[in-house]
Structure 1
Amino acid sequence: MLEREVLSWEALKGGASLGPIKQRLESKTNKDLSDDQVVKALDALAAKELLEKSGNEWRLSEPDRDELSLYPLLIKRLQSKNVLAWLGVQEDSCVLQDTSAIAGSEGRYSRPDITLAAIRAWKYDPKRTLEVYSFEVKNRKGSNVPAVYEALAHGRFVNHPYLVIPRTKLDIENSELIRKTCEREGVGLIFFDLRAATIDPGFDITNLSFEVEAERRPTNPRTIEDFLDARLETSAKTTLVRIARGTKE
């Protein structure tokens, strides 16, 4: 009860000391509260990284992690049947890989964090088609409008560029600006919940949602193949060739 009231107090975005917080909680609960009761609630929220203390003031916050540590869990979530189905991709007809560490002469604007390549087969069309998706991952600190254009640049090499960022309750204005920029530029946008956890790796990623669908780019097939040759591991390329040929081995 006390934790919920603390999180709902908008003024805490700017910070407040124990006294005003205690007065607020007593007013909302119609109860006399001890300092220890209030501090216990504040400490519980701080353990969840939903509150931070600086000097004598407490301030609302949200968990964050460095971008590199987000990749493994995000890859796991992106490989789920629900996410692949939303993209129109079959689980057994695609490869997905962390491509963030594979450098190129063009720098980060040609190096998506995660790449998904899928072979699509149609009911009546005998031809198979290759569709490539890029996912530019940002943590809270890196979630801004320039990140949209970083994802947009990947559209030179893929068909469907996406930006993937944490959902926020504290900076709605920034989220809406990012969303509008994605819509204007045809960049896909995926939100996810990032929460602290006591189990390894100390956080969890849940509730992926597609906020904006990427506009398909008619990228030159040769450009796409060159990109995949440069970015994918040998095993992933071998698997993709096998899928494209429709063979089991």
Structure 2
Amino acid sequence: MEDLERIVLEVLSDGAEQSLGELETRTMKALGRKLPEDLYPETLETLKARRLLSITGEKVKRSEPDFPERDLEAGIETFISSEQAVTHLRLERGSTIWQKTARGGRAGTGTWSRPDFTIATIRKRKYDPVRHLDLIALELKNVAGSSVVAVHEALAHTRFAHYAYLVCPRSHLNASVQRAVRESCSQHGIGLLSFDLSVGSGNSPAFSAFRFEVDPRRQAPEPELVDNYIDDRFDVESQERLSRIAGGQHDAGHDHRKS
């Protein structure tokens, strides 16, 4: 059924309204064979339940669900500590702390001083005797908040972070906005982590197809600003662990995700 869902969504990818009859004809043509009698109606109902298409009378069009950013936090927090993210970001779990920084801690100074998540990792190079700290700031946006302005918000985090990412749903209906966001990220050295968003059980957000679309450039914030940010936004337990890791203690097996 997943292949049929994908074809239906591709047929509706321009966001234009179609008749149900037209959609059926175009879907059958794209599939290259007669539609499964039971599976096709079930596919439409599933996509409708996930708010990926809307049906009004005999008209159908593609839609995209959206959620408040706070409702997306748990899913993003889970992903950024997943094996896919750890591998892509070149993290070692025993040398890394994940901290939710959207709320709590001391208030930041200046505009756009609170990324939603921050990853602190102590890196050791093969031929460099000195360990060094990298802070990775991640700014989460929902569909409505995904814009070039959001890229500049992420860019502001490089005052204190070595790498900054914008994390947002991939919009299939607002392709021009997504293209502008991607180009702006590339221009300013901001990473872009995107995902597909639909509606899961209990009307909760469902995440799929996470993709690192743009890799960030490493920045060089003032060390004092980095320290001040950690003091302001990380809890005391995370600060102490980070100090121990920086001192050479490798805490493998401990989950450093902090809310």
- Calculate the TM-score normalised by the size of structure 1: 0.85
What letter is aligned with 1:146?
V
Q: Which amino acid aligns with 2:131?
A: R
The aligned residue for residue 187 of structure 1 is: 190
For 1:67-216, what aligned pairs fall within 5 Å after superposition? 67-102=69-104, 104-106=107-109, 109-198=112-201, 202-216=204-218
Deviations 1:155-209 (A, max 9, x none): 11111011011123222221111111011111111112223222x6723323322
Q: 1:46 aligns with which of 39, 45, 48?
A: 48
CA RMSD for the aligned pairs?
2.9
2:74 and 2:13 mapped to 1: Cα distance? 36
Secondary structure at 2:239 match in 1: helix
Q: What SS is found at the alignment partner of 2:112? A: helix
| DSSP-derived class of the 1:8 partner | helix
**Distance (whole Å) between structure 1 residues aligned to residue 77 and residue 39 of structure 2:** 41
* Deviation of 1:135 (Å): 0.2
Q: CA deviation at 1:28?
A: 5.4
Q: Give yes or no for contact 2:119–2:135 (8 Å, CA) kept in 1.
A: yes
CA–CA distance in 2 between the matches of 1:128 and 1:27?
Answer: 58
Question: How many residues align structurally?
Answer: 244
**Separation in 2, partners of 1:93, 1:229:** 18
| Cα distance, 1:4–1:194 mapped onto 2, change above 3 Å | closer
Three-state SS of the structure 2 residue aligned to 1:193 is: strand
In structure 2, C-alpha distance between the alignment counterparts of 1:117 and 1:3, rounded to whole Å: 39
Which of 233, 236, 239 does residue 235 from structure 2 map onto?
A: 233
1:70 deviation in Å?
A: 1.2
Moved more, 144-153 or 56-65: 56-65
> Please, what TM-score do these two structures have when normalized by structure 2?
0.82
In 2, Cα distance between the equivalents of 1:100 and 1:7? Answer: 34
- Long gaps (5+) in structure 2: 252-259
Q: Which has the higher contact order (CA 8 A, sep 6+)?
A: 2
User: What letter matches 2:113 in structure 1?
Assistant: S
Q: Does structure 2 conserve the Cα–Cα contact (< 8 Å) formed by 1:81 and 1:91?
A: no
User: SS of 1:109's equivalent?
Assistant: coil
